[in-house]
Amino acid sequence: MRIEENGGESASVNHLIFAYYVTGHGFGHATRVVEVVRNLIAAGHDVHVVTGAPDFVYTSEIQSPRLFLRKLVLDCGAVQADALTVDRLASLQKYSETAVRPRDSILATEVEWLYSIKADLVVSDVVPVACRAAAEAGIRSVCVTNFSWDFIYAEYVMAAGYHHRSIVWQIAEDYSHCEFLIRLPGYCPMPAFRDVIDVPLVVRRLHKSRKEVRKELRIGEDVKLVILNFGGQPAGWKLKEDYLPSGWLCLVCGASDTQELPPNFLKLPKDAYTPDLIAASDCMLGKIGYGTVSEALAYKLPFVFVRRDYFNEEPFLRNMLEFYQSGVEMIRRDLLTGHWKPYLERAISLKPCYEGGINGGEVAAHILQETAIGKNYASDKLSGVRRLRDAIVLGYQLQRVPGRDVSIPEWYTNAENELGLGTGSPTSEMSESNAITEFCTDDFEILHGDLQGLSDTRSFLNSLVELNNVSDSEKNNEKRQMRERKAAAGLFNWEEDIFVTRAPGRLDVMGGIADYSGSLVLQMPIREACHVAVQRNHPSKHRLWKHALARQNAKGQGPMPVLQIVSYGSELSNRGPTFDMDLSDFMEGEQPISYEKANKYFAQDPSQKWAAYVAGTILVLMKELGVRFEDSISMLVSSAVPEGKGVSSSAAVEVASMSAIAAAHGLSISPRELALLCQKVENHIVGAPCGVMDQMTSACGEANKLLAMVCQPAEIIGLVTIPSHIRFWGIDSGIRHSVGGADYGSVRIGAFMGRKIIKATASTRLSQSMSTANGASPDEVDNDGLELLEAEASLDYLCNLSPHRYEALYANLLPQSMLGEVFLEKYVDHGDTVTVIDKKRTYSVTAAAKHPVYENFRVKAFKALLTSASSNEQLTALGELLYQCHYSYSACGLGSDGTDRLVQLVQEMQHGKASRVDDGTLYGAKITGGGSGGTVCVVGRNCLRSSQHILEIQQRYKKATGYLPFIFEGSSPGVGKFGYLKIRRSIAPKS
């Protein structure tokens, strides 16, 4: 509603003017906007649509002089690397170019344009700057959407670098000027909006009946018809006749004019009206988007979908699709190789059951009309963005944390409760009372190993009992049963042996990113752990999933060894819950494939890339130990170690997986060797340049002790018992950490550059000293100095350089930073086998090289202090070393706002009056692991008051950011101490 200078309202209910802004992301937004606009125009109003979509999308449905099209894109949406994968960094960069840099001119232009058309209401789907422009023009604005770009971009920022986070805050700030949100079903968390009105599905109406469409296409009712709908991007795919079951036809949307199709594939015109075609089909094959999902539900069409990676709207639409029994997930590998038959046949057996409204366009248009003439739908609540601030970035992590007891904001709970979704894996959802329930020996008996009193292991075994019962009673037919539970229920032959292993995550107390430079590290295995259950079966007795069976049948070779994995927690992240492969895929002739080929194999489908951590252990055993796997393997992975927190969730999965595989195949591998093998999985198959301390702690650690290890490459020098008066905690910042992230890798490269420069400098000095020494008498030659230079000229690890030598000879010679190309021209290579220098990138050298030199010294001092006499001075010194380490991280560029805030809160607690009265509680804190977010390690006195202060910090952090951090406390044994369990279902239940 436009406000005139005299304070009067200009709008008339008979003739309103709407400015409707449409995002540049795909056609789906344009097609749903069409339905709202059509209803507004039918009510007699003018609608000016600001869009980048082709005219025919609107004019084919609306022929009216009241429709005005203005070609303009004010946000780019998500840039797609291909039809199924979003390029996260490119998306942020493109948005910056489209909407951030020209922002001032955009606002000026849009305000002037809104005045010129005398707009009564601005509607946005879901262009952020439109809301801000409306506010500056004094016009009310409303958003109509199922997601918002602050939520979508939040994870992109975490993955692509925090220097982009201002984009998310700016978008949220723009949305906060919106009057309210008209929210569509299948919605994501949208914290920036103050008020919400829910409407039914917005679905385009049908023009023709199924019979009419089939008649025009000359397709009989007896022909099974699938519509291929990937948003107009299948042009580069090679479609083959045998992709379809016999007697089927496929309608192809968006094929290029030059694309040749097999006779059972029919090319559709680019302007084809897809709702009619969808309703006339028997199922749809495509990627998930609001348009495809809404029309599949509305017309009760089974939808075979392939995950679209890194578009965070998808999990919510996918859950809705599956809830109404309309969805079948296809593995991307099977899509591209043509193994469609089992999925299509499964789809047509479904009975879609959506009975909700499909008149959302009409309902939304009525609300918009009422708003434009002055009806007030909004409350007086404060702007969500101003209350949540950092939570807009951090909030996304809530759906990525399996089974954590966190305070979930209302905006997420609502999205979750609408579909009755859970928030964790079966293991981690167990209540405390369930966790201490005795293992059901009536169902299984333990043939080898000991539970060691670990309640989480008992819970995992009880979850296997539940799966056995699910399989027996066919409870997996319930609509709300998670797909991962259904897959797991049919995974094992319950009459055969199952091997179970457990590997914990770790808290990096000291050492952190200095491990790859040879430092001493001190690591504590945490209470949270990953459990893996493995069973091997002869290929002829292995129960295959339908698509895996179809793939084998197509090869015509008879039963061959297959790997099938189910991973719990997938519903809370953008990954597929299952993975399968023929183990022959790991072979090239008589030899295992290279690690490079394995990396590419798992990278081809990002939604299943997680399987590299699990399946990669098999390839490493093949290559390094010469093991050959002739049986099929079934694996269930259930990890309570949260991802992205810097507590080595990946190492826990690798170590638990490899130890379970080893146990099932009778392999004897020492914990140390196991850790080194698992590091190869992470470095070479996953492609993350981590050191070995994570795997070593998970494999060799013991409860309530710090694993002391010199990483040259992995010499365990002992276990340091944590004194009874000292305690360590981990506090999660909520900022997602990734060891594979660019920041960690660049700091590692900078450290290796520094080492190469130091070696070159030492070599030059040595040559000069030797030349001088040749002309001197023996008494004048400083042999000790020459020996030091010789050692430094062949320096294997930076940590072997003492701080005083570093300061005396090298500190002032290292460049602050260096362009990759310049370094390579002068030094050829940096000597690190797991990272690659980008010629066009500038790397920090001084800070990255200085950190490990001083960190090694700090860790040695920390270890010595731990064994000294108990005193307040001891705790103060330990805390000071943690603080020094934290700020050294920051100097490297590996800090984050969240972890800095937590360290500051510890300092405030340490120096507060209450702590001084209590003789001290908390003494120091530092960022851990790879940095750039993750978890903070805190050292303090082991007393009740310290724990209370930790909880107080937790609440203060939540008040400041909106995010309640998870607290890691307690310790548990590594896999070497735990061993393995061998269990088998009892043949006859005991009385």
Task: Please name which of 969, 967, 965 lies closest in space to residue 398, comparing C-alpha atoms.
Answer: 965
Q: Measured at the alpha carbon of residue 36, what is the angle toward residues 32 and 40, in degrees to the nearest 5? A: 160
CATH label of the domain that carries residue 343: 3.40.50.2000
Q: Is it the case that residue 427 has pLDDT exceeding 50? A: no
The CATH number given to whatever domain includes residue 89 is 3.40.50
Q: Is 858 helix (H, G, I), strand (E, B) or coil?
A: helix
Find, among 513, 644, 588, 680, the residue nearest to 933 by Cα.
644
CB-CB contact of 227 with 253 (8 Å) = yes
Q: What is the CATH number of the domain that holds 633?
A: 3.30.230.10
Percent of the chain with pLDDT over 90: 60
694 is catalytic: yes
Cis peptide bond upstream of 352, omega within 30: no
Q: How far apart are CA 616 and CA 655, in angstroms?
A: 11
User: 792 with 708, same domain?
Assistant: no
Are residues 195 and 224 located together in one domain of the fold? no
714 and 565 in a common domain? yes
Same domain, 30 and 104: yes
Q: Pick the catalytic residue: 456, 694, 743, 832?
A: 694
Q: Note whether residue 142 is domain-resident.
A: yes
Task: Give the 3-state secondary structure of 405-438.
Answer: CCCCCHHHHHHHHHCCCCCCCCCCCCCHHHHCCC
Cα gap 636→417, rounded to integer Å: 27
CA distance 878 to 720: 15
d(CA 893, CA 876): 26
415: pLDDT strictly greater than 50: no
In a domain, 97, yes or no: yes
What does the angle CA 119 – CA 121 – CA 122 come to, to the nearest 5 degrees?
Answer: 95
Average pLDDT, the chain: 85
Which two three-digit tokens encode residue 751?
């450290």
- Whether 316 and 343 map to the same domain: the answer is yes
φ/ψ region of 452 (left if φ > 0, alpha if ψ in -120 to 50, else beta) reads: left
Please tell me the pTM assigned to this model: 0.76
Domain count, the chain: 4
Percent of the chain whose pLDDT exceeds 70: 86
Q: What is the pLDDT of residues 571-595, one digit of tens each?
A: 555 677 899 999 999 999 999 999 9
Tokens of 743: 């920041």
Per-residue model confidence as pLDDT tens digits over 597-632: 999 999 888 778 889 999 999 999 999 999 999 999
Q: 786 near 840, Cβ under 8 Å?
A: no
- Kindly state whether residues 25 and 119 are assigned to the same domain: yes
Please spell the DSSP secondary structure of 355-399, one letter per residue.
-S--BHHHHHHHHHHHHHTT------PPPHHHHHTTHHHHGGGGG
Q: Which residues contact 328 (CB under 8 A, 6 or more apart)?
A: 302, 303, 304, 305, 343, 346, 347, 350
Would you say residue 227 lies in a domain?
yes
* Integer Rg of the chain from CA: 31
Contact 332, 156 (CB under 8 A): no
- pLDDT at residue 977, as a whole number: 96
- Residue 463 lies inside a defined structural domain of this protein: no
Q: To 10 degrees, the CA torsion angle through 822, 825, 829, 830?
A: -30
What's the residue count for the chain? 991
What is the rounded distance in angstroms from the CA atom of residue 571 to the CA atom of residue 849? 41
Same domain? For 588 and 645 the reply is yes
Report how far apart, in Å, the C-alpha atoms of 893 and of each of 402, 752, 859, 937, 986 are.
Answer: 29, 16, 21, 18, 56
What's 813's domain CATH number?
3.30.70.890
Given a contact cutoff of 8 angstroms between Cβ atoms, the answer to whether 496 and 444 are in contact is no
Instruction: Kindly tell me if the per-residue pLDDT of 254 is higher than 60.
Output: yes
The number of CA neighbours under 13 Å toward the Cβ of 185 is 26
Same domain? For 373 and 331 the reply is: no
Distances from the Cα of 824 to the Cαs of 752, 814, 818, 842, in angstroms?
12, 15, 10, 12
pLDDT at 772 over 80: no
- Burial bucket for residue 477 (CB in 10 Å: 0-12, 13-18, 19+): exposed
Confidence tier at 144 by pLDDT (50, 70, 90): very high
Query: What pLDDT does residue 554 have?
Result: 81
Q: Cis before residue 614, ω within 30 degrees of 0?
A: no
Do 654 and 791 belong together in one domain? no
Q: What is the pLDDT of residues 517-569, one digit of tens each?
A: 999 999 999 999 999 999 999 999 888 888 888 888 888 778 899 999 999 87
Cα atoms in the 13 Å half-sphere on the side-chain side of 445: 8
Tens-digit pLDDT profile for residues 271-327: 889 999 999 999 999 999 999 999 999 999 999 999 877 777 888 898 889 889 999
Give the domain range for residue 850: 742-770+786-969
Position 990 pLDDT exceeds 90: no
Q: Do residues 199 and 383 make contact, with C-beta atoms less than 8 angstroms apart?
A: no
Query: In the beta sheet, which residues pair with residue 86?
Result: 80
Give CA–CA dist 49/143, Å, rounded: 14
Q: How many CB atoms within 10 Å of residue 877?
A: 17
Answer yes or no: do 267 and 378 share one domain: no
| Whether 807 and 708 share a structural domain | no
Task: Please give the DSSP secondary-structure letter assigned to residue 976.
Answer: H
pLDDT tens-digit map of 846-857: 999 999 999 999
Q: Are residues 657 and 558 in the same domain?
A: yes
d(CA 240, CA 730): 54
